[in-house]
Structure 1
Amino acid sequence: MARMRRGLVHAMAWSLATGAAVTLSWWGVHTVLAGTAYDPPRALPIPAGSTGAPPAGAGDPLASSTRRPSTPPSSPSAEPRASDRPTTPPAPTPSRAPTASKPTTKRSPDGGDVKSYAVDGGRVVFDLGPSSAELVSATPASGWQMQVWKQPTWIRVTFTKDDRELSVFCVWHDTAPRVEIEDR
C-alpha cells in the first residue's frame, strides 16, 4: 500500500511539474510572438463618385494584401528573441545603393498619408500621421523572407534573400514619421 501511495505522489508531482513547464513555455513563446505580429491591413474607402476602375495610365497598385509569392518562402530557422530586437533602428549605412522606387501617396480618411515603398525585397505600405505611423501592409517579393518589428516609436520591415538584407524603417520618436531604407 505504501508503495502505491508513493507512486501516486510521484505521478502527481510529475504532472504538476510538467503542467508548470508547459505553462511557462507557452507564456514565453506568446510574449516573444506578440511583439512580432502586426495588425492585418485595413481597407481604405473609395472616394464618392469613383467608378472603381483605375485611371488610364495608372501604375502599380499601392498595395495588395492578397498577392502572394508563387513559391512559398521557407520559414526562418529561428524567430528573433525579444532581446535580439534592436531598441532603436541603426543608422543607415548602405553598402549598396538602395533600390527603392519613389513612394506613392494617397490621403487616408484620418488625415494621414498612405505611402507605398517598393524595394527589391517587396512592398511596404505605411499610414503616416503627423506624429505617428501605422503599418498598413508588407508583402515580400517572390523568394524573399520577411520579418516585422513594431515598437512605440518605430516600425522595421526586413526582407532577406540569400546573403542580402533589405530593411525599411519608419521612425517617429522626436519628429514627424520618416522612412529610411537600408540595403546590406
Structure 2
Amino acid sequence: MRRGLVHVLAWLFATGAAVTLSWWGVHTVLAGTAYDPPRALPLAVGEATTQESRPLPSAPGRPSPTRPPSPSSTPTPSSTAITSATPTPSTAPSSSPSSTASDKVRGYDTDGGRVVFELGRTSASLVSATPGPGWSMQTWKTETWIRVEFTSGADRVSVFCTWHDGPPRVEIGTY
C-alpha cells in the first residue's frame, strides 16, 4: 500500500511540475506579444460582397435577408430620407501605403452599421464596413462610386460615396 501511495504522489508531483513548466513557457512567450486587430481587405473594382452579422446564441432568430440586387445594377435611391452625412473622425490607419497627406479617414455611423472611407482629393476607398447586430451588408465598388447597403428585414440603409464629378462626397439614405 505504501509503495502504491509513493508512486501516486510521484506521478502527481511530476504531472504538476510538467503543467507548471508548460504554462510558464507559454505565458512567457505570449506575454511579449501584442494583439493587432484584423484589417479590412480592399475590394476589387466592380466586385460585390455580402457579409452578415451573426446574432448572439441567446438572441431570437432573424428573418433571412432578401435577395440583394445584382452587382451590375446601378443604385437608384428610392429613399424617403437621404441625408448628407456628417463624418465622425476615425483613428483607423490608412489602408493604402500610397496615401497622401490630403487623404482623410472618416467613419459614418448608421442604424445598420458603421462604414469607414478614406477620402482623397479625387477618389475614395472603402476602409471597412461593419454591420450592426441583426443586419446584413453588401458592398459595390466601381471607378467613380462605392455603395454599402445594410439590410434587416424590410429596413435598408445605404451609404453612397461618389466622386465622379468632383471631390468625394458621402450620402446616407434610409428606405
TM-score of Structure 1 vs Structure 2, range by shorter chain:
0.5 to 0.7
Q: How high is the TM-score relative to the length of structure 2?
A: 0.56
Pair 1:141–1:101, CA change in 2 (3 A): farther
Matched, 1:36 2:21: no
Q: How high is the TM-score relative to the length of structure 1?
A: 0.53
Corresponding position of 2:164: 173
Deviates more, 1:115-124 or 1:157-166: 157-166
Corresponding position of 2:120: 129
Shift of 1:122: 0.2
Shift of 1:119: 0.5
Measure, in 1, the Cα distance between the counterparts of 2:63 and 2:125: 27
Q: Secondary structure at the match of 1:176?
A: coil
Report if aligned partners of 2:65, 2:153 keep a CA contact under 8 Å in 1.
no
Measure, in 2, the Cα distance between the counterparts of 1:175 and 1:139: 27
Measure, in 2, the Cα distance between the counterparts of 1:102 and 1:77: 29
Shift of 1:145: 1.1
Residue of structure 2 aligned with 1:163, choices 137, 145, 154: 154
Which digits, 9 at most, give the CA deviation of each residue in 1:115-140, with x for residues without a partner? 00011100000011111111000000
Corresponding position of 2:70: 81
Shift of 1:98: 5.5
Report if aligned partners of 2:136, 2:150 keep a CA contact under 8 Å in 1.
yes
- Cα RMSD over matched residues? 3.1
Measure, in 2, the Cα distance between the counterparts of 1:95 and 1:137: 26
Paired residue type of 1:144: W
Q: Secondary structure at the match of 2:69?
A: coil
Measure, in 1, the Cα distance between the counterparts of 2:120 and 2:132: 27
The higher relative CO (CA closer than 8 Å, separation ≥ 6) is in 2
Instruction: Tell me how many residue pairs correspond in the alignment.
Output: 118
Paired residue type of 1:95: T
> Over alpha carbons, which structure has the higher Rg?
2
Query: Percent identity over the alignment?
Result: 45
Measure, in 1, the Cα distance between the counterparts of 2:82 and 2:162: 20
Measure, in 2, the Cα distance between the counterparts of 1:115 and 1:94: 23
Pair 1:121–1:79, CA change in 2 (3 A): closer
Q: How does 1:32-111 map to 2 (within 5 A)?
A: 35-37=47-49, 69-71=54-56, 76=65, 78-83=67-72, 85-86=73-74, 89-90=75-76, 94-96=79-81, 102-105=87-90, 108=94, 110-111=99-100
Shift of 1:158: 0.4
Report if aligned partners of 1:37, 1:148 keep a CA contact under 8 Å in 2.
yes
